[in-house]
Amino acid sequence: MKKKHVYLLLSSFVFIASPLQADAPLDDELTKAMSLEPNVEDGKEVFKLCMACHQANGWGLEDGSFPQLSGQHRSVIIKQIADIRAGNRDNPQMYPIAKEAVMGGPQAISDVAAYIGTLPMDPEPGTGRGINEERAEKLFYRKCAECHGADGSGDAERYFPRIHGQHYEYLLRQIKWIRNGKRRNANPVMIKRVKKMKMEDLELLADYVSRLKPPKELLAEPGWKNPDFE
């Protein structure tokens, strides 16, 4: 994406710095976990529960069945686990692992989220076909950039996730679920923005986001393997 093009797009839209809310009401467990000092070493042990699905690298799978977690904001990981445990987000595959009897209490959530944040990101995530890039770019700046940033880096303080470097198939599925009301902890602003989008535009949007590159310092070298679990 050419910088000149980006500047032209940005000049075409007025982003209002509104006090956008987090994805769903913040429950007591999330507030507690966020307030705790994380222990990364303990988080490494908790992460063993995550590896069967998200892989030892935390990169998930290219087919989108499991998302990349690596490099994600600690606040976002904490919130999603807390939402699943509180019943704010439906995830029948993750719930048995995330429940307190298995994963542990708020300290365990804080710890594993901190560990995940230390993992470098997949340098070659699954991407879409790269078609109609001009329209895809416009859709992104109209629908996503205000919350997730022009580079897709999200906003840790508002619990908005990094979306750059995420697998295309996972992005597309989540956008569809948000549009269709299946992801119940989705941000109301995002629901409104994607609710009437056509399928072809959802595909373009997911395609564009999947091609956004995280900063180089967040990326692993090709072929990297998590040394903690070799």
pTM: 0.88
- Residue 146 host element (H or E): helix 145-148
Would you say domain 126-218 falls under CATH 3.30.530.20? Answer: no
Over the stretch 183-198, which tens digit does the pLDDT of each residue have? 999 999 999 999 999 9
Over the stretch 18-35, which tens digit does the pLDDT of each residue have? 444 555 455 789 999 999
Query: Does the pLDDT at position 15 exceed 50?
Result: no
- Residue 207 host element (H or E): helix 199-210
CATH for 28-123+221-229 (1.10.760.10, 1.50.10.10, 1.20.1440.230, 1.10.150.20): 1.10.760.10
Cβ(143)–Cβ(49) under 8 Å?
A: no
* Residue length of the chain: 230
Encode burial over 136-148: b for 16+ CB neighbours within 10 A, e otherwise. Answer: bbbbbbebbbbbb
Cβ(208)–Cβ(133) under 8 Å?
A: yes
Q: Where are the domains of the chain?
A: 28-123+221-229, 126-218
Mean pLDDT in residue range 104-130: 97
